[in-house]
Amino acid sequence: MISGQFHFTGHSIKLRPTFIAAALLLVTGGGYLCAQDVPITVGDGSLKMTSKVPWPDYSDSGGKIKTHPHNGKAMTTLEITMPGHNQKLTCSTNQKCTVVVSYGATDITFSTGNNGKGLQVNTDFSQFQRGANDGELLHKDPNRKISRLRVTGASQPFDNTASGGTTIVIHYQ
């Protein structure tokens, strides 16, 4: 059990164990649990997927599907930066939203449940390696580019080919 008593110039403050545990969680990196938006960014050229929630925290369903730990949240908006096709799309409430990113021979599919909540990432994760930290996954083939991006279930469908300079930010709140 963690408990503590701190003294400040003659005054003492008693802290309850639950308060101390919560404070330690925030200080040690658990701050994302309280965050409103936990975006995932997919960037082009040596493909990198960056998640505010560390990838090891996603549940793993047999190597091809990872499920975001905050299953009560929903995919809300998508920010697409693509030469000639910059857009911000809104995902429909209470409806499945799907984003498919094609990178060489690898497809990465981000999709919610039919109710618009919960997020799964489906791809061949053996093609990825850890980046600079647990929030980054890098594709093992750095010589490819995002070649296509498809979105369904958003404010408008999106299907465009790409040839570099593409970034997708998936907001999940």
For residue 12, the model assigns a pLDDT of 30
What is the SS3 assignment for 17? helix
CA distance 125 to 137: 9
Give pLDDT, residue 24: 32
Q: Angle CA(142)–CA(148)–CA(149) in degrees, nearest 5?
A: 110
The distance in angstroms from the start CA to the end CA of the chain is: 33
Q: Which of 13, 54, 49, 47 is nearest to 32 (CA)?
A: 54
Q: Could you tell me how far CA 156 lies from the centroid of its own chain?
A: 22
pLDDT of 160: 94
What is the pTM assigned to this prediction?
A: 0.78
Is residue 34 packed enough to be buried (19+ CB in 10 Å), middle (13-18) or exposed (0-12)?
A: exposed
For the stretch 55-87, what's the b/e string if a residue is b when 16 or more beta carbons lie within 10 angstroms of its beta carbon? Answer: beebeeeeeebbebebeebbbbbbebebeeeee
Secondary element (H or E) of residue 121: strand 119-122
Distances (CA, A) of 83 to 48, 71, 146, 162, 166: 18, 33, 12, 8, 7
Q: Mean pLDDT over residues 116-120, rounded?
A: 94
Q: What is the pLDDT of residues 131-153, one digit of tens each?
A: 999 999 999 999 999 999 999 99
Q: pLDDT by residue (tens digit) across 30-46?
A: 444 444 778 899 998 78
Which of the residue ranges 20-24, 110-114, 117-121, 137-141 would you say has the lowest mean pLDDT?
A: 20-24
Per-residue pLDDT of 101-112, as tens digits, reads 999 999 999 999
Residue 87's pLDDT band (cuts 50, 70, 90): very high
Helices marked H in the chain: 17-27
Q: pLDDT above 70 covers what percent of the chain? A: 80
